Amino acid sequence: MTNKARKYIKIIAAMLCCAAVISSAILCAHAASPTYNVSADYKGGRYYENFREVDLVGDGARDTLAIALSQLGYHEGNDDAGRDGLSIDGDRDYVEYNVLYGKLDNNQGNGISYGYYWCASFVNWCLRQAEVSKEASAAAEVSCRRWLAACKDVGIYNEKEGYIPKSADIVFFKEADSAVTSTHMGLVLYCEGDTVYTIEGNTSNGSEFSTNGNYVALKSYSLSSSYIVGYATPKYTSAEGIGELDYSGKTFGVGKYIATADISIYSDNSYTAEIGKIDAFSIFEVERVENNALYINGGCVKAENIKQMTAKNNIRSISYLNSSGKKLYSNQYAERGAEVVITSEIPERSSASFVGWLINGTDEMIAPGDTVVLEDSLELCAIYDDTKPPEDVTETNTAESEEVTTESVSTTVHTTENTTENSTESITEISTEQIEAASESNQASVSAPQGLLGGCTSTVGAVYGVATIIAIAAGIFLRKRKNMV
């Protein structure tokens, strides 16, 4: 067998392995993709599935709130296993949102861990997964008071007096007896009359103000509430053609919704024949709306106990992913039918040569710089040939590196707020190496033979389809080689 034959067989084997690896997740092709290495605990639960149901449209405010709403009902855990958000009695602050920032010791009895106060982490996580930069939001913090100070420094902060908050504003709170500037924060969902409605992490699921609850929950306050300190408006990107969306729930449209309680599915809008249920905090898609009856595939639901997350729109996206489903570059967005040029950047690996981009769910490859007509959103998976080292590569591109470096990790990690007047802030000295060694987020989540490559998640059917096509191609190739000998 020639070296060339061996090379192609290796590539085929690697692609088959890729198909096997990615068949473990059933994810839609235009879903939000994580900007970090997601923990296995979170990835195996409902809230990761909810996150992946979000269709990003390139509008920072809209995308941030869609991602936040996808996490409604998330509950903190007592240990790492509780990061899936499904705990019913966890109270030790272990959450997935802290994984993005990194481990630290906040003097809460959990040691150096992901168990620390997380209201700021939740806001930070939502912003980053919506591709809102640290610069646009002034900080990427786990400290409310430091984040507030950063917002003031860059001029995006507004005192509450006389200010009408906007959707996706950051809202800062403070307990009355606290000596620090802010002890809690969240995101504004909408404002109506003299009431502001919010979505917050590390809060209670009741109506009372809470700075250390267990949930991601919806809350509301009077604009004059003594707990509210002020608001910050990140420098969000905007997008046209993203559809109308009413967070107040007075009007409803086609798009994706999340149930805030168990809801019934009926055969028609007489609501007499119940044919099924949608569990609380599950996401479903509304295909049409008539007289406040929301029609889904196979029935209809009442316009009660629901929140609309996304609206039907004409926006399509291209995302670039590595083997763990992590983004390599920012998404590209365009209106449906537009011609879009694929990025000319090449995600390099020191031990392999980049082959091209595989369109997720197909066997079609695209080269850097190609032009595509964007009828549907695309996920592009980086594919490599490990039998051919890259030319003139002296350093691995950080975009394809599996090693996570968070914006906010430094050699000194500060604790989050102390809310008592006489206590002093605790500072824990931790080396960057210690944090990286301890952090699960710094581990590559996929390992495959022949140094495999990049890949990305796909639907099971599409994966098996690709695997079948590749297997047939391999058989034809080998038969041809046999006949030539």
Under CATH, to which class is 255-307 assigned?
A: mainly beta
Average pLDDT over residues 195-207: 95
Q: What is the pLDDT of residues 282-324, one digit of tens each?
A: 999 999 998 788 999 989 999 999 999 999 877 778 989 887 7
Average pLDDT over residues 265-283: 96
Of 11, 38, 40, whose CA–CA distance to 402 is shortest?
38
**Domain-wise residue ranges, the chain:** 3-27+314-402+444-484, 57-232, 255-307
What pLDDT is recorded for position 260?
A: 96
Judged by average pLDDT, the poorest of 120-134, 332-346, 416-430 is 416-430
Dihedral (C-alpha) 435, 437, 439, 440: value to the nearest 10 degrees?
170
CATH topology classification for 57-232: endopeptidase fold (from Nostoc punctiforme) (3.90.1720)
Please give the Cα distance from 62 to 167 (Å, whole number).
8
**Residue type, position 39, single letter:** S
What pLDDT is recorded for position 374?
A: 86
Statement: the pTM of the whole predicted model exceeds 0.75: no
Please give the Cα distance from 161 to 224 (Å, whole number).
8
Q: What is the pLDDT of residues 45-62, one digit of tens each?
A: 999 999 999 999 999 999
Say yes or no to pLDDT of 243 above 50. Answer: yes
Name the 3-class secondary structure at 469: helix
Name the 3-class secondary structure at 379: strand
Say yes or no to pLDDT of 400 above 50. Answer: no
Q: Is 95:200 a contact under the CB 8 Å cutoff?
A: no
Q: Is 113:103 a contact under the CB 8 Å cutoff?
A: yes
Mean pLDDT of the residues in the chain: 79
Q: What is the pLDDT of residues 325-345, one digit of tens each?
A: 788 888 888 877 888 999 989
Q: How many CA atoms lie within 13 A of 236 on its CB side?
A: 22
Q: How many CA atoms lie within 13 A of 412 on its CB side?
A: 3
Please give the Cα distance from 388 to 251 (Å, whole number).
57
Say yes or no to pLDDT of 398 above 70. Answer: no
CB-based contacts of 2, cutoff 8 Å, min separation 6: none
Say yes or no to pLDDT of 83 above 50. Answer: yes
Judged by average pLDDT, the poorest of 144-148, 188-192, 349-353 is 349-353
Q: What percent of the chain has pLDDT over 90?
A: 56
Say yes or no to pLDDT of 409 above 60. Answer: no
Average pLDDT over residues 270-289: 95
Q: Is 483:42 a contact under the CB 8 Å cutoff?
A: no
Of 418, 355, 411, whose CA–CA distance to 383 is shortest?
355
255-307 has the same fold as 57-232: no
**Residue type, position 139, single letter:** A
Tokens of 80: 């790492």
Average pLDDT over residues 213-227: 97
CB atoms within 10 A of CB 125: 27
Of 273, 270, 259, 269, whose CA–CA distance to 290 is shortest?
269
Backbone angles phi, psi at 334, to 5 degrees: -160, 160
What pLDDT is recorded for position 456?
A: 53
Please give the Cα distance from 158 to 162 (Å, whole number).
9
Say yes or no to pLDDT of 460 above 70. Answer: no
Residue position matching structure tokens 């690709």: 466
Say yes or no to pLDDT of 440 above 80. Answer: no
